[in-house]
Structure 1
Amino acid sequence: MSEARVSASLRLASDDFQDIRPRFADVRAALAEGADPVGLALKAADRAAAAAAEGIFTALIPRESVAASARAAAGRARAGEDLPLLGLTFSVKDNVHVAGMATTCNCPAFSVMPGESALVVTRLEAAGAVLIGKNTMDQFATGLNGTRTPEPLCRNALDPAFIPGGSSSGSAVAVARGIVSFALGSDTGGSGRVPAACNGIVGVKPTVGLVSNRGVIYNSRLLDCVPVFAACVTEANEILRAIAGFDPGDAWSRRDADAIEVTIQDPAGARLAVPRASQMRFFGDDAAETAFAANLARLRTLGFVLEEIDFSPFEEAGRLVFQSALVAERLVDYGDVIIQDRDRIHPAVLAAIEPGLSYSAKDAFEVVYRIKELKRAAELALDGYAALVVPTIPTIFTIEEMLAEPLARNTVMGTYTYFVNPMDLCAVSVPGAPARAGLPSALSFIGLAGKDGVVAGLARSFAAERA
């Protein structure tokens, strides 16, 4: 068949599925009624192509390749293979390797051409999901706001005047705008939760080491993990279950990863910890403070018992992520580019990473020791509680506001997220009551390492999703 006839047939298959959303239930209902997985995948490819100039993607899978992948998955399903993610589409942050596609971390001076895809990608494709493209990000995954990128800037899915959150900005926006069924990012200090909060979707940040990082360009080998973005907790948890597990090829993979209970747990009767009221900060955003109070009131209505704890150890751990010798770790993967191509690095990214050059080995050991002490403090503080509950973000800024004060306001965005990975915690961010300009607030349920199923249960209960 000629290339022109192939393209025409692909358009025809795509046009048959105009009204099917990429949500899991909608896709599965369509498949049950006889929809073609190829057509469903092509609609996602068309949606991505239509948004190609909007700063959401750094690269798209060619349409013919999307069709071929979907056709291969459909054939495997017809042959009797169990493909639980058949018909679903996804995208990945541009620090996640995809074979044959350049990994750029959204920096023109940095490009890696991988020979194989990251393990998380191959696991999803093995389960039947089809990759659509690679998402924009704050350069080198350094930032929580989404503006540390080449033009065009990625815009908030709910209100384009506001930041989309970062660094996994494109991943969250692709889900929030209904382009793909789900997406993957990376999370060092909140990049799997802040963009979810800004765009009104769910972000699942797993226990560090639960999901393999093999094939992901690190921001921090000590702290990084692969989060999931989806429209609801149930969908995000399903993807987490598909990608979780021990990977002997990843030195940072947890030996007990296969034993961690990831399935959503019943949260009935749970005790929840909250920071002391005097320690809460909203940076002058009265709407955010009111929304958090409303979210806590909802939890009490649901029958949860909330008790205040000292938040200071968590604050200290958060400060260390970007205000200590831990910053020097970024130089392991990006040092050559920072030194040799500084003129091609986003100024805010350069200002965040370059201080790492000034720390000594002694400084690094001291902060590692302190992190160990703070991890123990978290274990003791949360003993007896199902989770710690905080706002995912204390406020949200417009793009104009963020560009006016890019360093200070970026730090504000990490107030309630920075501490999670250094203290070896897991978290789920879920939308809450309306906040600034009508955008939804977000609540994070944060648990000790290995409590991924517990925090998912709490988040699903808060969101009133059906079990």
Structure 2
Amino acid sequence: MQLLSSPSATVSGLRAGYASGALRPADVVAELTARIDARGDDHVWISRTPVDELHRRARELEGLDPAGHPLWGVPVAVKDNIDAVGLPTTAACPAFTRTPDADATAVRRLRAAGAIVVGKTNLDQFATGLNGGRSPYGAPESVFGGDLISGGSSSGSAVAVAAGLVPVALGTDTAGSGRVPAALNGVVGLKPTRGLVGTAGMLPACRSLDCVSVFTRDLAGAAEVLAVLAGPDPDDPWSRAAPPEAPGAGPVVVALPEDLDLDRGDGTADTGIADAFARVAATVAARAAGTVGTPTAALREAGDLLYGGPWVAERLAVLAGVLDTHRDAVLPVTRAVIEAGARFSAVEAFRARYRLQELRAEVARLFATADVLLLPTVPTTFTRAELAAEPVVRNLVLGRYTQATNLLDLAAVAVPAGTTDDGRPFGVTLLGPAFSEARLLHAAAALLGPPR
């Protein structure tokens, strides 16, 4: 069959196969199980749903009307800091392992829509990192090979989709975890507005900033999954409803960066990424209704507050108990990041909050003149060996253009954009104001999709 390895391995492709009678959920379960087994220990999965349970779910779906279940028969993977009944939640820390008695809200909505939960995926421990290598369960390699990092923290989820193991995966996103691995594996990564998708049942990293993110093979799939996930979550105090008149299709004015910083963290610029971005920006400019130039210093300054400012204390607020009871089970680099939060005072936190509000106002003025902002998702790529040699500085480099998004209350969609001239993965991100998901997805298709 080889459906899941083809470019048509999408939500719409599966639904078309089911509708025509060419596919049945049991067929898809059998194929994906074989494909996962054939890859061996690729460090993508922390736990998997037993095969007999997958087939039981496939039989159960045969009794449900596909018309009333938008994800009927669609296999999904779930990042292992999100609860799914029947599978342990580890957050990539075996000593932390818990057995949930209820699905996270996002997982419950996927199952209700007819999805098949295949397993739990690897991540940077406690969702702390952007490189995909901070896990005792191993470091998945990018599907592009060459020892390239997969990106994190949602490493396993992105690789599972990119490798054709599942067409949909859930990740999370605080600093870029739903976008960096999308870029490094050539898939779509949608980071919704904070609160649009409920986070109940998700172990938080920074509870005030966390989002559930979505990985798919195409933009249409991301939109279909978001339609299932979005909506008020009574179990999540951070939940928000989208306004009734959220922007959608229409002409798009694009902001392009005037001061792109592609330093690799050592004073050298990644010219391959620069050239690739210039090509994409030229295509976007030709298709857009207009363009405006913009500095990006405000975004970079806001992003620096996440790990270099008092928001790192929020990670400590969440995980202090874990450090107290399982200190030796937390990886040293993860522990160092989290414990750094203790150095910030309440006065420093308020001062940073005031500065962030000023930066939000500055960015809001940008979106008064443009609908979306185009940026490279990552300023460079690294190998797993390079990250191991310099795990902190290079991790921060990866988040240069992603870390500010939740702090500034923006929505974002990361889109694959080919490769650099030397064959490395390259992706761009479109950013917009809160609740601009429909506009972002429309803009991405119109500006970055095949010519029409």
TM range (shorter): over 0.9
Could you say if the C-alpha distance between residues 75 and 52 of structure 1 is closer, same or farther in structure 2, counting changes exceeding 3 Å? farther
Query: Corresponding residue for 2:387?
Result: 402
Q: Distance in 2 between matches of 1:160 and 1:33?
A: 40
Structure 1 residue 211 and structure 2 residue 189: aligned?
no
CA change 1:342–1:317 in 2 (3 A) is same
1:14 — aligned with what?
A: none
Per-residue CA deviations over 1:406-427 (Å, capped at 9, x if unaligned) read 1000000001000110000000
Q: 1 CA distance for matches of 2:350 and 2:122?
A: 34
Aligned to 1:179: 165
Q: Does 1:243 align with 2:225?
A: no
Report the RMSD for the aligned CA atoms in angstroms: 1.9
Secondary structure at the counterpart of residue 437 of structure 1: coil
Contact 2:29 2:55 in 1 (8 A): yes
Aligned 1:22-101 pairs, distance under 5 A: 22-34=9-21, 35-51=23-39, 53-77=41-65, 82-101=68-87
Letter in 2 for 1:272: V
How far the C-alpha of 1:351 sits from its partner, in A, is 1.9
Q: CA deviation at 1:110?
A: 1.1
Q: Could you tell me how far 1:436 is from its partner in structure 2?
A: 6.1
In structure 2, the residue matched to 1:351 is 336
Q: In the alignment, what sits opposite 1:4?
A: none
Distance 1:249 1:151 in 2: 31
Tell me which amino acid in the other structure corresponds to 2:58: A
**CA distance in structure 1 between the partners assigned to 2:73 and 2:243 by the alignment:** 26
| TM-score of the pair, normalised by structure 1 | 0.91
Displacement of 1:160 in angstroms is 4.6
Question: Is the Cα–Cα contact under 8 Å of residues 425 and 446 in structure 1 kept in the other structure?
Answer: yes
Structure 1 counterpart of 2:131:
145
Deviations 1:401-452 (A, max 9, x none): 1111110000000010001100000001111142163123111100000111
Runs of 5+ unmatched residues, structure 1? 1-16
> Structure 1 residue 346: deviation in Å?
1.5
Tell me if structure 2 keeps the 8 A contact 1:100–1:116.
Answer: no
Q: Distance in 1 between matches of 2:257 and 2:105?
A: 37
1:68 & 1:328 partners in 2: Cα distance?
Answer: 44
Describe the shift of the 1:323–1:70 C-alpha distance in structure 2 as closer, same or farther (beyond 3 A).
same
Say if 1:422 and 1:20 are closer, same or farther in 2 by CA, change over 3 A: closer
Equivalent pair of 2:12/2:221 in contact (CA under 8 Å): no
Q: State the distance in 1 between where 2:235 and 2:137 align.
A: 36
SS at match of 2:117: strand
For structure 1, which segment, 31-40 or 143-152, has the greater mean C-alpha deviation from structure 2 after superposition?
31-40
1:312 aligns with 2:303: no
Report deviation, 1:18: 4.8
Matches of 1:260 and 1:172 in 2, distance apart?
Answer: 32
2:241 aligned with 1:252: no
Contact 1:430 1:444 in 2 (8 A): yes
Deviations 1:68-92 (A, max 9, x none): 1121122112xx7611211211001
Q: Paired residue for 2:433?
A: 448
Q: 1:448 to 1:73 in 2, by over 3 A?
A: same
Matched residues in 2 for 1:189 and 1:424: separation? 12
Please name the residue that 2:415 is paired with. Answer: 430
Task: Note if contact 2:232-2:239 (Cα within 8 Å) is conserved in structure 1.
Answer: yes
Kept in 2, the 8 Å contact 1:37–1:70? The answer is: yes
> 31-40 vs 87-96, which deviates more?
31-40
* DSSP 3-state at the match of 2:363: helix
What percent of counterpart residues are identical?
Answer: 38
Count residues in correspondence: 444
Residues in 2 aligned to 1:423 and 1:412: alpha-carbon distance in whole angstroms: 19
Are 1:282 and 1:289, in contact at CA under 8 Å, matched by a contact in 2? no
Higher mean alpha-carbon deviation, 373-382 vs 211-220, is at 373-382
**Aligned in 2, Cα 1:109/1:289: closer, same or farther, shift over 3 Å?**
same
Work out whether residues 42 and 66 of structure 1, in 8 Å CA contact, stay in contact via their aligned partners in 2: no
1:80-229 correspondence runs (5 A): 82-229=68-215
**Cα distance in 1 for residues equivalent to 2:209 and 2:364:** 17
Of stretches 377-386 and 333-342 in structure 1, the one that deviates more from structure 2 is: 333-342
Q: Tell whether the 8 Å contact from 1:197 to 1:393 is kept in structure 2 after alignment.
A: yes
1:24 corresponds to which letter in structure 2?
V
| 2:273 and 2:426 in contact (8 A); partners too | yes
Query: Among residues 257, 273, 276, which one is paired with 1:275 in the alignment?
Result: 257
Change (3 A) 1:466 1:250: farther
- Say yes or no: does 1:414 pair with 2:399: yes
Q: CA offsets per residue over residues 309-345 of structure 1, 9 Å max, x none?
A: 2222111110001111111111222112224433222
Asked if 2 retains the 8 angstrom alpha-carbon contact of 1:56 and 1:154, the reply is yes
Cα distance in 2 between the residues matched to 1:301 and 1:460: 14
Give 1:274 deviation, angstroms. 2.0
Superposition TM-score, scaled by structure 2 size:
0.94
Residue 281 of structure 2 aligns with which residue? 296
Q: Secondary structure at the residue paired with 2:209?
A: coil
Any idea what SS the aligned residue of 1:388 has? strand
Alignment partner, residue 389 of structure 1: 374
Report the more deviating stretch, 48-57 or 158-167. 48-57
Mean CA deviation greater in 49-58 or 64-73: 49-58
